[in-house]
Structure 1
Amino acid sequence: MKNTMARRGMRAFGSGLLSLLIAASIAGAQDFTDKPIRSLEIRYDGAKTVDESRIRNLMSVKAGHKFSAEKLDDDIRSLVESGLVDDVRMDGEEYGDGMKLIVEVTTRPSLAGVGFTGNSEFTSGKLAKESELKPGSPISDALIFEARKAIVKYYNGYGYPDVTITHTLQPTNRPGYSDLILNINEGEQNEVRHIVFRGNESVKTRVLKSEMKTKEKGLLSFMTKSGRIDVSKLQEDEERILDYYRNRGFLRVSSTGFKREADTKRGRVNLVMDINEGIQYKINQIAFAGDMKVFSEAELLQVLTLNPGESFSSKNMRKDKTTVRSYYGSRGYADASVVEDIQDAGPGMVNITYRVIEGRPYRVGRVTIEGNNKTKDKVIRREVPLKPGDNFNSVDVETSKKRIQGLNYFSNVVTETNPSVQDGYRDLRVIVDEKNTGQLSFGLGFSSIDSIVGYINVEESNFDITNPWSFRGGGQRFGLNLRLGAETQDFRLSLTEPWFLGRRLSFGGEVFYRGAQNLSDYYEQTNVGAGLFLRKPLTNRSYINASLRYEKIRVDVEDNVPADSLFQEIGGKFTRPALELSYTYDSRDALQTPRKGHKFETGITGILESLGGNSNSFIFNVSGSKFWNLWFDSILELAGSMDMVETSSGPTPIYDRQFLGGARNLRGFEYRDVGPRDPATGGVIGGDSAAYATVEWSFPLISSVRGALFYDGGFVNLDSWDFSFDNYHSDFGAGLRMNLPFGPIALDYGIPLQVPDARADKGGQFNFYIDYEF
């Protein structure tokens, strides 16, 4: 028995009907439902332009699986939506005690070459290079879209905002291959000289300009790319301007948008926007209407951002509508809708009525994952709190998307909810687009502490130790870092499992080596050891961390140290077993260049003789940082730390003492040059108590470069629990924050202000370092 069915055109009939058609067409008189698929064969109708392994990777159905029309439904979608396949047909045959599934595909042609018409400003060779099209690649819709987008962006970069591109495919004499012809309409060259607003009586022009992504051409345009016109971004700028007004009560603001007016200089234009502000409105009354059974009006009024007496704000109104929908969505009312009705209520006053249609509650049906050719299903599913049979929760759908995006394994994540074949259920479909999760970097660098340094970094954020030789797809994090510098040598090998024992519990370990000749002029230190840690999330923003770290430490005192120096007492070989417990809360909106939020950390570390250590010491730490986003995208940061060491078995070992100075705390002083000193040599010997604080204001200069002004202050005292300000040192300075292609770099120049220890005053200090935040 054999039955055949073409599938591509039937996708529009809906998932349930398509599944039934597949089952009926393939099964025919013979019911294959739940029969094992003993063989799965891929056949090609026409030229074979897509490798068979790639076709199989796009399918979830495999040999050995039971026949399921629903899974074939999903696979047909995956094949067609990949853009690599034009048509799919399914054949079913009896095969022993099961069935043989035959998948016949018509694949897209491969690229023979690329040609251009209409291009006079740039050569075809240059445009072909910008398109990044490679002969031999299947001509998918996504490939053509990315090529067109790249060329449009290239033209935009040279002041051609109106460029449009169409394409045609021309078959060649080579079977299965076609030429791609891109037809270009370049338009006129335009660059922005001035941005002008007319009618803006309530808002200053500079404020409106700051809301725009489009900028005027300036002296640094070759770096900042200012002056360029992107039509889509300019339309977004128009809406940003109007939304700025609406968020401040100007409900009826209107404009005809930006017009381009020719400037005296050829190729330049002025952007002019006429604004009719209207009057500023306040809210008189807010109410709810509709047949509401799940929540009362009083309950919903309590969660709103807008309140009577305040200025109208479209942003807050949208936020309130989302909040109300989320409240219903958390109870399973996936179709709940909220529509605002705004009515005048006298001069400068409006009433807002939110009309609610609750709909009906749903449960979760099927949860399907698509697009994960490397990443295991379980790695994605464990980030989805919704399981089949659960009460449907639209908030959890959004949470799932954010969690999966947060893995940083995928360039795009889409979550869709669709009607299920079961009445009263909603299916959840998660579609991911995988990206490269491994990084290999090596090269030479420079810092003010270490001079020249060579490094090799190997990182894989989607590692799988159980999957040789690929080692990918398990959601583990692997790192190998080697750094060789004039003053330091580092080696670190680490592995982390973020879902230990199937729970949201991170378990990891590392082995490390560190040789440091930059800690002091009077000794060198070498650390070698290993560590284990266990981290438990408490909330979305906080976690506790427990770790065990075992180190062998060697301290070598320099030969030229005088016999009466305190440094003579610190040398030797030591064992440092450390138990640490810490708590972290982090609400920052980004790791790099955070603009709001704060981070707080506190912890205690115990080094115990009972575990083989050379001392009984306890180290207490409290640190934190807070960020505010101010005018013109400037950022104010307040940060600081307090550390204290208590040792009950003699003096604190040199490797556990506290120091200040350098790029990470007091930038106006040399590295580790603030603290109690050795009377014989004048070198800093460190203390048992330390604290510092810093205030920094950064502001944008050009794209990817920010300026900074800062003030630092702190002290190191000899004894434990001594937080007196007698040894308070401070500095001020300025710097640059550069987000370069190879990493974020900071350059600071600090000048000492208060220096109670004159030996610490060595004039202004340059600090050059990699500006990573953690």
Structure 2
Amino acid sequence: MTVDILVRPLRVLLAACALAAATAAPALLAPSAAVAQSAGVVRDIVVLGSRRIEPATIASYLTIGVGDPIEDAALNASVRRLFDTGLFSDASIAVDGGQLIVRVTENPTINRVAFEGNDSITDEILLSSISTRPRRAYTRARAEADAQVVTELYRRAGRYGTSIEPVLIEQPDNRVDLVFEIDESSVTGVNAITFVGNEAFSDRRLRRVIETTESGIFSFALTSDIYDPDRLEFDRELLRQFYLSRGYADFTVLSAIAELAPDREGFFITFTVSEGPVYTFGEQSVVVSAPGLDPAEFEALIGAAPGDTYDSEVVERTIDRMIFLAGQQGFAFVDVRPRATRNPETLTIDIAYELVEGARVYVERIDIEGNARTLDRVIRRQFDLVEGDAFNSREVDAARRRIRGLGFFSRVDVATRRGDSEDRASILVDVEEQSTGSLTFGLGFSTADGPVGEISITERNFLGRGQFVRARLQVAGDFQVYDFAFREPAFLDRDLEAGFDVFLRQEDRSDESSFEETNIGFIPRMEFPVSENARLGLSYTFASDEIRDVRDDASDFIKADEGTAITSAVGYVYTYDLRNDTLEPTAGFLASFGQDFAGVGGDTQYVRTTARARAYTSFFGEDVVGSFEVEGGNITTFGDDIRITDRFFLGGDRFRGFESSGIGPRDRTTDDALGGNNFAIARTEVTFPLGLPDSLGVSGGVFADVGTLWGLDTNNRGGVTVDDDPSLRASVGASLFWDSGFGPLRVNFAFPIVKEDGDKDEFFRLTAGTRF
């Protein structure tokens, strides 16, 4: 009896505690205080704390309504939904019988969004990039996300040290001004680029391969080389192509790391590479799996012989030739698959070109995105494929490289997707445009012309049509040039460049030839390929050449030419290019041959012929580059004598060691240079590093020139006889090259070792220029 009396109250107390714990547990687990009951239904909803938002609107956000059973899950989901709206900084739900009491604290309303401290990026660009807008509710999460978006914009502009802080300024009526305070950093350049694991080629040579460059010592005054992670990935591919084209078939880029300097003012980039040995071509054969093709016809297209250094570009060209031949024979779906077998023992690579019948997949469509300015057809014409053609992945990759090579886009992505059926493929091109126009101011100096100034306006993608337009003014001590150039690189959407030049040139030649000259002309031209490595250019020239202000003591040869003559000429230039690089060749050669035929109307009648060939080779991992060049020309009249403005002149940069117009036929009485109807010259040059830090951009060279200029239509006039014999001249010298922040600079020190009486020597010559 006594025990029962003691136990019964204890049981009641324990039951009450359990009930209280069960009731309180959901509230403790909820994101905000929410008190519920496990039974009953909602009879009413009361909203407290609302100021701008209607209570009915707040009630509509809940997942529970009047008449619904009161359940913990529904109450917790309702609280979460209130927070998800982004309208409230706090929210809670309490249960009082059948009544839900919803308490909210509204986020303030954004009155204004502003930016402070931004100089390099405008408010309009920044505002269009963020999601925060006036008259919307402020949330800290969104403000921080927008600050990160702005930070990324500055990083893409090369300013990695920029910091952004969102700041609130309270205003009446629960409103705030959101101000993004921006502390802009300077452009983050590349302090140094180093390579690890390279033995065949020096760091200096490999830096010339990649697009990323080190910031120069004058970058602070002009432009700085900006770090770009997308470009870094492209550099890895450029390195791979460079090594594969030189026989390093095992080459890999193990890593490409960019480390931000502690002061956040620049990056240190390190490429770690594995070169491997040099391979040569071994046995090469053709295996035909597609019936109807003759292997012998395709074997004749193989572009390398056993023992030649392996070159991936040669393999690619061979594949292209085979695919083209198969297409001509009606096999549109033949795929050429090179099966390479490496022989580490002999360091050779055997290649079997397998011609197989590929899958019959057609191009369904080519979609282009991201080009707000550039016309679709400018991008589309980079494809050799059109809708309905047989799909070829190699052509797609080649088109991607050509689109990137346009220089119109900072990013180019080309993806292939399945079309509406299994035998259809769609190609998606996604690009990001960049600036293609520039206003250029140039400063230069040469010992021949003194200070040289230039102003030009250039647009490489005129009206988004891919056209080149330039208006330029050059002014120096003795000449002024005004010219306008226009180029359409794909006339009629074909590989046909068309354009024209208009120019006005005024030159004072009184120092060397006792007269002044004015040339006004118009030259329409076009150029197109005639073979895999050759191009043909055609042009027409209409020009007015005036010889004026002839001095009284000038040569009778010049006085006879005084006045104005109209030239109407057609011409052509054939160019054959086998260089391994068009900008910095280290192997191969370039040859050209051209003629101009004057006499299609006008006052002058002549045939001018010029020819030029230059070969390149390299030593010591391509750090030392040698070249040998020969050049010659002849002009023959079939009317009156050749005017002095149409003859050839040598000297200056064309024949180092002699002044401009410093050699050739000369009136010995007046010392006037008269030019010649013929010239021939040979030049040899070797360039090499000087062992100085690459950041200085200084290198050296040695050279030797030998040549002659001779011939006049008549060598006697007014009792004056001119010696126009083809006497050889020769010079040797050294050069200093400086790729400075103010443009490329070259200094020549030349010594004539063979010359004639009356020739004008020139020991020192400096030329420099800049663009900013």
How has the CA–CA distance of structure 1 residues 584 and 316 changed in structure 2, closer, same or farther, with 3 Å as cutoff?
closer
How many angstroms does 1:713 deviate by?
Answer: 1.5
Structure 2 match to 1:498: 489
The alignment yields a C-alpha RMSD, in angstroms, of 5.6
Bigger shift: residues 324-333 or 447-456: 324-333
**Aligned counterpart in structure 1 of residue 711 of structure 2, from 710, 718, 727:** 718
Q: Could you give the per-residue CA deviations for residues 17-63 of structure 1, whole angstroms, max 9, x where no partner exists?
A: xxxxxxxxxxxxxxxxxxxxxxxxxxxxxxxxxxxxxxxxxxxxxxx
Q: Secondary structure at the match of 1:405?
A: helix
Deviation per CA, 1:413-469, whole angstroms, max 9, x where unpaired? 333222111331221222222222212112543222211233211111222xxxxxx
Query: Which residue of structure 2 aligns with residue 644 of structure 1?
Result: 634
2:492 and 2:350 mapped to 1: Cα distance? Answer: 54
Give the deviation of 1:212 after TM superposition.
6.5
The one-letter code sitting in structure 2 at the alignment partner of 1:458 is I
What is the distance in 2 between the residues matched to 1:245 and 1:378?
33
Q: Which amino acid aligns with 2:547?
A: R
Contact in 2 for aligned 1:332/1:362 (Cα 8 Å): no
| Alignment of structure 1 residues 70-109 onto 2, 5 Å | none
Q: TM-score when scaled to structure 2?
A: 0.61
Q: 2: CA distance between counterparts of 1:318 and 1:763?
A: 44
Q: Kindly state the Cα deviation for residue 648 of structure 1 after the two structures are TM-superposed.
A: 3.2
Task: Name the aligned partner's letter for residue 601 of structure 1.
Answer: S
Instruction: State the aligned residue count.
Output: 589
Q: Distance in 2 between matches of 1:491 and 1:418?
A: 51
SS in 1 for 2:414: strand
What's 2:650 paired with? 660
| 2:674 alignment counterpart | 685
Change beyond 3 A, Cα 1:132–1:349: same
Whole-Å Cα distance in 2 between the matches of residues 709 and 618 of structure 1? 36
* Aligned partner letter, 1:515: Q
Q: How big is each residue's C-alpha offset from its partner over 1:124-168, in whole Å with a ceiling of 9 and x where there is no partner? A: x9xx999999965726888655755788988xxxxxxxxxx9x99
For residue 660 of structure 1, report the CA deviation from its aligned partner: 0.7
**Per-residue displacement from partner, 1:675-695 (whole Å, max 9, x unpaired)?**
111132122212211111211
**For residues 552 and 286 of structure 1, what CA distance do their matches in structure 2 show?**
59
Question: Is the contact between residue 588 and residue 596 of structure 1 (CA under 8 Å) also seen in structure 2?
Answer: yes
Q: Is the 8 A contact 1:130 1:151 kept in 2?
A: no
The change in CA–CA distance for 1:741 and 1:112 in structure 2 (over 3 A counts) is farther
Aligned counterpart, 2:660: 671
Q: 1:488 to 1:400 in 2, by over 3 A?
A: same
Counterpart-to-counterpart distance in 2, 1:600 and 1:672: 25
> 1:681 corresponds to which letter in structure 2?
T
In 2, distance between residues paired with 1:365 and 1:339? 30
Against the structure 1 CA distance between its residues 532 and 507, is the aligned structure 2 distance closer, same or farther, given a 3 Å change threshold?
Answer: farther
Aligned position for 1:616? 605
CA positional deviation for 1:381: 2.3
Q: Which residue of 2 aligns with 1:459?
A: 458
CA gap of 1:513–1:740, structure 2 versus 1, over 3 A, is same
Contact 2:550 2:559 in 1 (8 A): yes
Structure-2 residue corresponding to 1:581: 572
How much has 1:714 moved relative to structure 2? 1.2
Cα contact 1:326–1:394 (8 A) shared by 2: no
Task: State the secondary structure of the residue aligned to 1:758.
Answer: coil
Task: Provide the residue aligned with 2:412 in structure 1.
Answer: 413
| Rg (Cα) greater in structure | 2
Measured after TM superposition, the shift of residue 597 of structure 1 is 3.8
Contact 1:715–1:725 (Cα < 8 Å) also in 2 = no
Question: Residues of 1 paired with 2:646 and 2:672: CA distance?
Answer: 17
* 1:764 and 2:763 aligned: yes
How many angstroms apart in 2 are the aligned matches of 1:254 and 1:378? 37
Instruction: Say whether the 8 Å CA contact 1:284–1:351 is kept in structure 2.
Output: yes
- Tell me, yes or no, if the aligned pair for 1:746 and 1:770 is still in contact at 8 Å: no
The within-5 A match list for 1:128-527 is: 136=127, 138=129, 144-145=151-152, 147-148=154-155, 360-463=359-462, 472-501=463-492, 503-518=494-509, 520-527=511-518
Q: Does the 8 A contact of 2:650 with 2:661 survive in 1?
A: yes
**SS at structure 1 position matched to 2:667:** coil
In 2: Cα distance, 1:196 partner to 1:550 partner: 58
In the TM superposition, residue 288 of structure 1 has moved relative to its aligned partner by 9.2
Mapped to 1, the partners of 2:496 and 2:673 lie a distance apart of 41
TM superposition shift of 1:537: 0.5
TM-superposition CA deviations, 1:519-550 (whole Å, max 9, x none): 64342333342323231413464123121323
Residue in 1 that maps onto 2:538? 545
Q: CA deviation at 1:662?
A: 0.5
1:293–1:419 CA distance, 2 compared to 1 (3 A)? farther
Listed one character per residue, the Cα deviations across residues 449-499 of structure 1 (whole Å, up to 9, x for unaligned) are 211233211111222xxxxxxxx2123222211122211011112333334
Q: Which residue of 2 aligns with 1:43?
A: none
Deviations 1:244-301 (A, max 9, x none): 89987997x999999xxxxxxxxxx9x9x99999x99999978899977697888887
In structure 1, how many angstroms separate the alpha carbons of the residues matched to 2:313 and 2:560?
67
In the alignment, structure 2 segments of 5+ residues that lack a partner are 1-111, 131-145, 170-175, 185-190, 209-213, 220-226, 257-267, 716-722
Shift of 1:766: 1.7
In structure 2, what is the Cα distance between the partners aligned to 1:481 and 1:249? 45
**Amino acid of the structure 2 residue aligned with 1:718:** G
- Cα gap change, 1:431 to 1:746, in 2 (>3 Å): farther
Report which structure shows greater RCO (CA 8 Å, sep ≥6): 2
Amino acid at match of 1:373: A
Query: C-alpha displacement at 1:208, in angstroms?
Result: 7.1
Mapped pair 1:707 → 2:696:
no
Kept in 2: contact 1:632–1:699 (CA 8 A): no
Within 2, Cα distance between the matches of 1:281 and 1:646? 52
How far off its partner does 1:347 sit? 10
Q: Residue 734 of structure 2 corresponds to which residue in structure 1? A: 734
Q: Is the 8 A contact 1:567 1:678 kept in 2?
A: no
DSSP-derived class of the 1:404 partner = helix
Of residues 589, 606, 612, the one that matches 1:598 is 589
Structure 1 pair 212–535 and aligned structure 2 pair: CA distance change class (3 A): closer
**Is the 8 Å Cα contact of residues 252 and 274 (structure 2) preserved in structure 1?**
yes
Report the counterpart of residue 522 of structure 2 in structure 1. 531
Residue equivalent to 2:683 = 694
8 Å CA contact 1:638, 1:694 repeated in 2: yes
**Contact 1:437–1:461 at 8 Å: present in 2 too?**
yes
Which ranges of structure 1 fall in alignment gaps of 5 or more residues? 1-109, 115-124, 155-164, 183-189, 198-204, 215-219, 259-268, 464-471
Cα separation, partners in 2 of 1:481 and 1:170, compared to 1, 3 Å: closer
Q: Distance in 1 between matches of 2:354 and 2:504?
A: 64
Q: Distance between the aligned counterparts of 2:572 and 2:347, measured in 1?
A: 58
CA distance in structure 2 between the partners assigned to 1:512 and 1:496 by the alignment: 15
The AA in structure 2 aligned to 1:689 is: N
Post-superposition CA distance 1:386-437 (Å, at most 9, x none): 1111122334323433433343322333332221113312212222222222
User: What percent identity do the matched residue pairs reach?
Assistant: 23
> What is the CA–CA distance in structure 2 between the aligned matches of 1:332 and 1:411, rounded to whole Å?
34
CA distance in 2, matches of 1:643, 1:749: 26
Q: Using a 3 Å threshold, how does the CA distance of structure 1 residues 567 and 359 change in structure 2: closer, same or farther? A: closer
The Cα shift of 1:372 comes to 1.5
Deviates more, 1:726-735 or 1:378-387: 378-387
Q: Distance in 2 between matches of 1:350 and 1:498?
A: 39
Structure 1 residues 435 and 577: CA distance shift in structure 2, 3 A: same
Distance 1:399 1:284, change over 3 A: closer
Measure, in 2, the Cα distance between the counterparts of 1:455 and 1:282: 49
Distance 1:503 1:112, change over 3 A: same
Greater Cα shift, 380-389 or 576-585:
576-585
Structure 1 pair 737–365 and aligned structure 2 pair: CA distance change class (3 A): farther
